[in-house]
């Protein structure tokens, strides 16, 4: 049994420097640290995220931020509503949630303040909070992403020994879909030489595409510090034939080679086309509210700028996924961030002919912006939407 350590947190909401174009999150909240699901590939073990003295205690000692709802109520007044990710380095619906209900209390506060939410989990305990999620779907925006990397229980005994079965997760997806709550799949990570064969990729996509709204497919499993040490040890004991393959693939790097990522992404895209499922989440659409949570009719440009920024980020996502290089279109990210944080309508820059004064906006992105402002979409997005034929 894990040990629950109740702590007082000084802060609960983290603002990302750049908006993510996979999950669309601007903020992150982790009501717990440590996770009872003990997934062997989890990158939360890296020193960057770990707060435990010894990474071996990650699943044995669960830190519970008991004052999280109180702190969140105070902190939200400082931030403009945008998508909150639950959670980044822990599962918000791990068994500790049954006892403490911090995630539910946090969702209640986010709903009341009209902050949209993206929940990432492996647990069907999320069904307990369907009442709140249905309200958020109507009043703001929400989505739930279930991690499913294989349906092979034998392999999962090594990779996700304490997590709910993928069958339970798939059942939860069906129920959320029936309740008209946006729901999808995190097929992340595709583990090299274990889960990256075409049969497994197709099996996951085929079984989940019947019910999910999207499938996010991540071929770039990282190996860093403690995570690397633990995973290589697992390979050496249980998959010794792969140990040298991993040493060769990763060498002194934290990610698989670019060529490998491109190859797996190509397979995934072809299968997404075959089963008619999106490999991305549609950019979220939600109201703009003030810190006092009242609509601001005079500040509609905030939403207009955000929608344009998200349009650029979606184009970047599609380009990056096809290339297998998540850093290949960083100018789109830079331009999107600057546009979203403008204190005036992007139309002013357009009419004054000074779009390229915005950092990150070159002639190509200027053309996309002009196209978008005139038509509400762009030829560039339409081109990138064309999946490999």
- Residue 114, token pair as written in the block: 């009209």
Residue 32 neighbours by CB under 8 Å, 6+ apart: 62, 63, 64, 65, 87, 90, 91, 92, 94, 96, 97, 102
Q: What is the pLDDT of residues 48-68, one digit of tens each?
A: 787 888 888 999 999 999 999
With 70 as the cut, is the pLDDT of residue 376 above it?
Answer: yes
Q: What is the 3-state secondary structure (H, E, C) of 263-297?
A: HHHHHHHHHHHHCCCECCCCCCCCCCECCCCCECH
The residues, ordered by sequence, that sit 6+ positions from 250 with a Cβ below 8 Å of its Cβ are 223, 228, 256
Task: Name all domains of the chain by residue range, CATH numbers in brackets.
Answer: 3-274 (3.20.20.70), 297-384 (1.10.150.110)
Distance CA 25, CA 84 (A): 6
305 or 49, which is more confident?
A: 305
pLDDT (tens digit per residue) in 236-271: 999 999 999 999 999 989 999 999 999 999 999 999
Residue 389 pLDDT exceeds 50: no
pLDDT reading at 137 higher than 70:
yes
Q: Is 234 exposed, middle or buried (0-12, 13-18, 19+ CB in 10 A)?
A: middle
Q: Is the pLDDT of residue 296 over 60?
A: no
User: In the Cβ-directed half-sphere of 7, how many Cα atoms lie within 13 Å?
Assistant: 18
Reported as a single tens digit per residue, the pLDDT across 64-122 is 999 999 999 999 999 999 999 998 899 999 999 999 999 999 999 999 999 999 999 99
Would you state the structure tokens that stand for residue 339, as one six-digit string?
């546009």
Q: Which pTM does this prediction carry? A: 0.95
Q: In this structure, is the dihedral angle defined by the CA atoms of residues 369, 374, 375 and 380, taken in order, positive or negative? A: negative
């Amino acid at each position: 049994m894990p040990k629950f350590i109740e702590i007082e947190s000084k802060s609960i909401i983290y603002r990302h420097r750049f908006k993510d174009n996979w999950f669309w999150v601007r903020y992150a909240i982790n009501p717990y640290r440590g996770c009872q699901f003990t997934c062997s590939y989890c990158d939360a073990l890296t020193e960057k995220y770990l707060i435990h003295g010894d990474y071996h205690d990650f699943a044995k000692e669960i830190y519970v931020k008991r004052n999280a709802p109180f702190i969140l109520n105070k902190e939200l007044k400082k931030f403009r509503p945008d998508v909150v990710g639950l959670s980044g380095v822990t599962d918000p619906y791990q068994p500790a949630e049954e006892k403490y209900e911090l995630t539910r209390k946090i969702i209640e506060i986010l709903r009341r303040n009209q902050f949209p939410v993206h929940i990432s989990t492996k647990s069907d305990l999320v069904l307990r909070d369907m009442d709140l999620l249905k309200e958020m779907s109507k009043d703001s925006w929400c989505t739930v992403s279930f991690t499913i990397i294989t349906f092979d229980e034998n392999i999962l005994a090594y990779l996700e020994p304490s997590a709910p079965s993928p069958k339970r997760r798939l059942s939860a997806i069906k129920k959320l879909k029936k309740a008209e709550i946006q729901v999808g799949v995190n097929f992340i990570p595709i583990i090299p030489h274990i889960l990256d064969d075409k049969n497994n990729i197709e099996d996951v996509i085929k079984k989940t595409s019947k019910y999910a709204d999207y499938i996010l497919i991540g071929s770039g499993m990282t190996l860093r510090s403690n995570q690397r040490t633990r995973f290589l040890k697992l390979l050496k004991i249980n998959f010794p034939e792969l140990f040298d393959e991993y040493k060769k693939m990763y060498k002194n790097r934290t990610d698989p080679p670019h060529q490998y990522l491109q190859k797996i992404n190509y397979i995934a895209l072809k299968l997404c086309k075959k089963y008619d499922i999106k490999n991305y989440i549609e950019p979220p659409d939600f109201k703009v509210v003030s810190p006092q949570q009242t609509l601001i009719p005079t500040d509609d440009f905030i939403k207009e700028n955000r929608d344009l920024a998200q349009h650029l980020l979606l184009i970047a996502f599609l380009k990056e996924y096809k290339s297998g290089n998540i850093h290949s279109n960083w100018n789109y990210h830079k331009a999107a961030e600057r546009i979203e944080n403008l204190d005036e309508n992007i139309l002013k820059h357009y009419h004054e002919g000074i779009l390229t004064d915005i950092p990150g906006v070159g002639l190509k992105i200027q053309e996309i912006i002009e196209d978008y402002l005139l038509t509400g979409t762009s030829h560039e997005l339409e081109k990138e939407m064309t999946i490999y034929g």
